[in-house]
Amino acid sequence: MKRRDFLKTTVVTGTAGVLFDACAPPGSDQIIPILIPEEEFIPGVEEFYPTNCVECPGGCGLLARKMDGRLVKVEGNPAHPISRGASCVRGQALPQAMYHPDRVRGPLMREGARGAGQWRNVSWDDAIERLVSELAAVQEDPSNALAFLTGALRGHRLDMVRRFTSTFEATRHLVHEPFGDGAVLRAHALTTGVEEFFAYDLENANYLVTIGASVLDASRSPVRFGRGVGHLRQGRPGRRGKLVAVQPRLSTTAAAADEWLPARPGSEASLVLALAHVILRDELYDTGFIENRTSGFEEFRARVLADFDPELVAGMAGVSVETLERVATEMAMHGPTIVVAGDAAVTGPTGLGTAVAVDHLNALLGGFGKKGGIFFNQDPPFSEWPSLETVVPAPEALFANLTKESDASSGIRALLISDTNPVHTLPSSAGIDGFLSEIPFVACFTSFVDDTAQMADLILPESTPFERFDDDVPSPSVGIPVATLSAPMFSRPLYDTMSMPDVLLRVAAGLGGTVAEAFPWASYEEALRAAWSGLHAVSRGSVTESTERRFWSRALAAGGWWDEDVALNADCLTSDGLYRFELPALESIGLDRTAAGDTSRFTLYVYPSTAFGDGRSAHLPFLQELADPMTSVRWGSVVELNASTASELNISDGDLVEITSDTGSLRVRAQITQGLRPDVVALSAGQGHGEYGRYARGRGVNPFSLLQATTGSDLFEVPLQATTVRVTRIKETS
């Protein structure tokens, strides 16, 4: 039977759906409606527009694929030094953020009580007018303060916020970034004088140890680390590097690692110093670096040799002496070696100590400034905006403010919020609700009504990165100056939205006087261009042009500017230029043996989710549908319990359990795993939103509600492994 005869037969017996589709009458409209009518396009022709990703600190440069006037796909920008063409689950899901059904489509003003979720649509003119009048009230009375609460912003967005706050007499910049690794920054400042994340030459390293940081799944810079570790593994014929992960839970990173050391939460600093002990004792450290480039070594050595013998640490940490000895020797003998710290391990009472100890271990191994080692960030040479005779408020951790001060909100008359969701990612016991309720006016810049925006008086809808001008300076970076640049890829935003810096410009103009003078630009695009003229002026790097205008066009087309010819450096910025073996931070590390005690309580370990991060990507259905790499959970949450622990508690896989801390409780399904310490219970951050669109609302559980707001911490984050909980079975699965 010839093909066409066969086809005639099958078509007769085909399904009705096929018949009608194949015979669609001419004139029937089967085209996807074009939402932005002015878009000009040729069907079938693809166009790529550079943009930057702001979902995590990684700061990947991306390319957005536009077809038929629509954003249909996101790729990494192959030229970008961070992403080099790759991307992650969250970047890949970004088109859904642009066309999400629950995006805020225009400014909203609160009706009814705060938190009731009743809004009325207002125009931008009305919204700006309200902002101006509220901020004018701040200016009028010296006892009134403006507070700007943000996440860890980067690039000129951060500069805009700092500039704006500085134009007010009484002003504060509060920061809340739950997995921000603030202790690492503080440690770097103490040891090297450089308060920025280090750059790691993973591609030339042989041994990588991560203390707590899930570097390959959700921490800091997963795409860059994915590439680096991939190369470390199989990118150099004949050489295969090793990855060791020290975490209480088998994360994706630990699962991909060659060795997993399940150290007890809180013991990481001691473990790191035990490794240092072996290296010091056996004199395996880099003597050249120590003698010429450091200070305080002798005191450090004496302290570590006295107090951190592996014999003393092993039992407390739950990692054998033999393993500690072996890993320490491997690190010293099979370098170049890099040690990284992050996530829960750098939070809580021992957090800073852990971060400092890791810096010291890297110093012993002599990695600073060497191939396969550690380098410092180099800022792109932007032009400075006109200087102001004002004082920029130093950033304060919101969490520390709430837990230390009795009345954290006192004096704050107006609060502006951008890029952070503290109502979701703070322990309820920290008092965020009370804090907000004391503040007369709260406005939120956001594309979606999330848990925090729900409590605002005014919502200012943000344009997505695909619809706005923006820049970014990724941190951590790769040791060379990198600046990402993005421009709108559509003729106008999808909805009546505006980017936060542009709103600030309009408000500044409305306020007049010194505030307006501080912002001499008609648009954020103009402000960016002014700053970027400095990159043109240096006449080097990935974009060089004869005129500034041509430079700007080329930089926009390329998605940014970077300079790969710059020599990497690890020059300490301490007063004497030497690496400092700082000791006081280590005082907080006790060899506390309180492991014995209440065995009915477990340490609650909270970690960032691969799909949702700290929760900011939970609104995207593609990511809810994704099976978590370690738990396989879709559209929900589980609590992980160690198998032997579960059997002792008579809990089976899938049972509903109640997790109770001193400050809260929640109910969730249990999942039994071998990849967890028996004395630890693990919950992923990201779910349990009260509000965040239809796909995230009321879904799963939020572990932040259980965490204790322990006092005495002046760091940026909530302690993520310093809370103990009880676990009780509620009922069995049917």
Binding mask 25-44 for another protein (x = CB under 8 A): xxxxxxxx--x------xxx
> Could you tell me the smallest distance in angstroms from the CB atom of residue 300 to another protein?
28
Considering beta carbons, is residue 72 or 537 the nearer one to another protein? 72
List the interface residues with another protein, window 77-116 (CB under 8 A): 83, 85-89, 91-93, 95-96, 98-101
Q: What's the rounded Cα separation, in Å, for the pair 169 and 172? A: 10
List the interface residues with another protein, window 663-682 (CB under 8 A): 674-678
What residue ranges in 661-722 does DSSP mark as E strands? 665-673, 680-684
Q: What's the rounded Cα separation, in Å, for the pair 61 and 23? A: 44
DSSP bridge pairs for 602: 725
Q: Which of 13, 406, 711, 734 binds another protein (CB under 8 A)?
A: 13
Q: What's the rounded Cα separation, in Å, for the pair 76 and 74? A: 7
> Could you tell me the smallest distance in angstroms from the CB atom of residue 52 to another protein?
16
Q: Which of 10, 437, 647, 733 binds another protein (CB under 8 A)?
A: 10
Considering beta carbons, is residue 218 or 398 the nearer one to another protein? 218
List the interface residues with another protein, window 128-187 (CB under 8 A): none
Q: Is 44 left (phi over 0), alpha (psi -120 to 50) or beta?
A: left
440 binds another protein, rule: CB under 8 A: no
Other Cβ atoms closer than 10 A to 154: 19
- 10 Å CB burial of residue 127 (0-12, 13-18, 19+) is buried
Q: Which residue has the tokens 């402000």?
A: 527
Q: What's the rounded Cα separation, in Å, for the pair 616 and 343? A: 17
310 close to 325: Cβ distance less than 8 angstroms: yes
Q: What's the rounded Cα separation, in Å, for the pair 516 and 56? A: 32
> What sign results for the dihedral spanned by CA atoms 365, 247, 610, 178?
negative
- 10 Å CB burial of residue 495 (0-12, 13-18, 19+) is middle
Considering beta carbons, is residue 41 or 385 the nearer one to another protein? 41
Binding mask 201-230 for another protein (x = CB under 8 A): -----x---------xx----xxxxxx-xx
> Could you tell me the smallest distance in angstroms from the CB atom of residue 544 to another protein?
28
List the interface residues with another protein, window 322-341 (CB under 8 A): 330, 333-334
> Could you tell me the smallest distance in angstroms from the CB atom of residue 326 to another protein?
9
Considering beta carbons, is residue 331 or 508 the nearer one to another protein? 331
The pairs formed by 127-133 with CB atoms below 8 angstroms and a separation of 24 or more are: 127/458, 127/460, 128/503, 128/506, 128/507, 128/510, 129/510, 130/458, 131/443, 131/458, 131/460, 131/503, 131/507, 131/510, 132/507, 132/510, 132/511
List the interface residues with another protein, window 45-84 (CB under 8 A): 45-46, 67-68, 70-76, 83
Q: Which of 164, 168, 198, 260 binds another protein (CB under 8 A)?
A: 260
- Angle, helices 310-317 vs 268-281, to 10°: value is 160
Give, in degrees to the nearest 5, the angle at Cα 497 between 491 and 503.
Answer: 110
Considering beta carbons, is residue 87 or 192 the nearer one to another protein? 87
Considering beta carbons, is residue 229 or 718 the nearer one to another protein? 229
Considering beta carbons, is residue 165 or 702 the nearer one to another protein? 702
List the interface residues with another protein, window 331-390 (CB under 8 A): 333-334
Considering beta carbons, is residue 249 or 301 the nearer one to another protein? 249
> Could you tell me the smallest distance in angstroms from the CB atom of residue 11 to another protein?
6
Q: Which stretch binds another protein (CB under 8 A): 251-259, 425-433, 468-476, 521-529?
A: 251-259
Considering beta carbons, is residue 60 or 158 the nearer one to another protein? 60
Name the residue among 345, 454, 343, 347 with its Cα closest to residue 400.
347
Q: Which of 19, 116, 557, 573 binds another protein (CB under 8 A)?
A: 19
15 binds another protein, rule: CB under 8 A: yes
150 close to 161: Cβ distance less than 8 angstroms: yes
List the interface residues with another protein, window 596-635 (CB under 8 A): 610-611, 621-627, 629-630, 632, 634-635
Give the number of residues in contact with another protein, rule: CB under 8 A: 115
What residue ranges in 379-535 does DSSP mark as E strands? 395-397, 412-418, 441-446, 458-461, 470-472, 482-486
Name the residue among 236, 254, 258, 437 with its Cα closest to residue 331.
258
647 binds another protein, rule: CB under 8 A: no
Considering beta carbons, is residue 238 or 597 the nearer one to another protein? 238
> Could you tell me the smallest distance in angstroms from the CB atom of residue 237 to another protein?
6
